[in-house]
Amino acid sequence: QDMINITFPDGSVREFEQGITPFGVAESISPRFAADVLAAKVNGEEWDISRPIDGDSSIELFKWDSPEGKHAFWHSSAHLLAEALQELYPGVPQSRTGSITISLPASIRLLPMISRKSRRR
């Protein structure tokens, strides 16, 4: 397996096997740290934490305490909720951005069922 160099924000460089993911990089730092990582940037580009890195790169890893981590969490949560709603109610209108609007009383009544569907993902 070919090796690649990953540069961290502090300028330090570590060698990893080609194809490592941002999650794998985080795990190499500490399993606890990896469990808290919600988002990553590779070479300044938003990068899924399960997407392989194929060449020498710079990396930033984000937890909840950063705006990037919060954005990734809420964005992913919104997609899971939208998927659960679409599965429960295939006719629910969805915008071009993927957002779904339902009335508040319906939302409150349906919350337990939506929650169960979301957890299955």
Beta-ladder partners of 47 = 40
Beta-ladder partners of 5 = 15
Sheet holding 57-62, edge to edge: 13-17, 3-7, 57-62, 39-42, 45-47
pTM over 0.75: no
103 pLDDT tier (thresholds 50, 70, 90): low
7 pLDDT tier (thresholds 50, 70, 90): very high
Alpha-carbon gap, residue 41 to 93, rounded angstroms: 32
Q: Is the pLDDT of residue 37 over 60?
A: yes
Residue 71's pLDDT is what?
Answer: 85
Q: Are 53 and 19 in contact (CB under 8 A)?
A: yes
DSSP per residue over 48-72, as a string? Answer: -TTS---SSEEEEEE-TTSHHHHHH
The CA distances from residue 18 to 7, 34, 44, 119, in Å, are 14, 19, 19, 33
